[in-house]
C-alpha cells in the first residue's frame, strides 16, 4: 500500500510512525527528488489491502492510496536466475537514499535514526520482506564471509561495544556500504576498511 506525497521528510516519518503504532510495518522513501511517500502492509490479496486502506481512510489516518501490485517490484521483474541484476537494483535503491536524513525511530531528527529501518525499506521496495530490527535481520539471513560479500548483502556491526549487533548497512561493492549512521547524519556511503567499522564488524548476511 502506498500513500502520501510529502515535501518534508518529517511529515513522511510522522505518518510511517503512526502506522507502525498499529503494527502495519510502514516505511517511507524518496519517491522523486524532494518528494517522499509511505508504504505499509504486506497483504496476501488486493481485496484485503483495499479493505484495510478504506478503514484507515475512514478514520482519517490516510488519504488517497495506491495498491502496489506484486509485479511492480524488482524481484518480480528480473529474468529468471538473474541474481546479479537484482543485487544491482538493491544497491541502486540504496543510493537513492544517500543524502536523505533518514528518520525511523521518531517524527523528528532529535528522536533518532534507525539503520535497520533503512535496510528494511530498501529490501521491501524491491519485493523482499526483510524484518524490521537489525537482530531479526541478522537471524533471518544466511551467513556470508567478508571475502564473499556481494552487492545487496547486509553487513552488521557492534558500534556500542556491548557484544551484540547495533548497526547495519547495505553492501554496495568494492568494500563500500550504504547506511544511516546516527542522529544528526544523513544516509551515506562508508568503507569497511575504515578503522572504526573494521574494528566493530560482526558479520554479514545474504538473503538471495
Catalytic residue numbers? 115, 167, 179
CA-closest candidate to residue 106, choices 208, 10, 7, 25:
10
Q: Which three cell numbers stand for residue 170?
A: 547495505
Contacts of residue 65, defined as CB under 8 A and 6 or more positions apart, other chains included, come to 1, 2, 3, 53, 57
Contacts of residue 78, defined as CB under 8 A and 6 or more positions apart, other chains included, come to 85, 86, 89
Residues in the chain: 208
CA-closest candidate to residue 143, choices 160, 131, 155:
155
Amino acid at each position: 500500500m502506498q500513500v502520501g506525497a510529502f515535501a518534508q521528510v518529517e511529515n513522511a516519518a510522522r505518518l510511517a510512525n503512526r502506522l507502525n503504532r498499529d503494527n502495519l510495518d510502514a516505511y517511507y522513501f524518496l519517491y522523486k527528488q524532494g518528494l517522499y511517500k509511505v508504504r505499509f502492509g504486506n497483504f496476501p490479496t488486493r481485496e484485503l489491502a483495499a479493505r484495510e486502506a478504506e478503514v484507515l481512510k475512514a478514520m482519517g489516518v490516510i488519504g488517497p492510496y495506491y495498491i502496489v501490485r506484486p509485479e511492480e517490484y524488482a524481484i518480480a521483474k528480473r529474468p529468471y536466475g538473474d541474481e546479479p541484476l537484482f543485487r544491482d537494483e538493491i544497491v541502486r535503491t540504496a543510493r537513492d537514499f544517500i543524502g536523505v536524513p533518514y528518520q525511523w525511530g521518531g517524527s523528528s531528527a532529535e528522536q533518532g535514526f534507525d539503520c535497520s529501518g533503512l535496510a528494511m525499506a530498501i529490501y521491501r521496495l524491491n519485493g523482499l520482506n526483510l524484518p524490521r530490527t537489525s537482530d531479526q535481520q541478522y537471524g533471518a539471513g544466511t551467513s556470508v564471509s567478508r571475502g564473499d560479500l556481494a552487492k545487496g548483502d547486509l553487513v552488521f556491526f557492534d558500534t556500542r561495544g556491548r557484544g551484540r549487533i547495533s548497526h547495519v548497512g547495505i553492501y554496495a561493492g568494492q568494500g563500500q556500504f550504504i547506511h544511516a549512521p546516527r542522529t544528526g547524519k544523513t544516509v551515506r556511503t562508508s568503507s569497511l576498511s575504515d578503522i572504526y567499522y573494521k574494528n566493530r564488524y560482526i558479520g554479514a548476511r545474504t538473503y538471495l
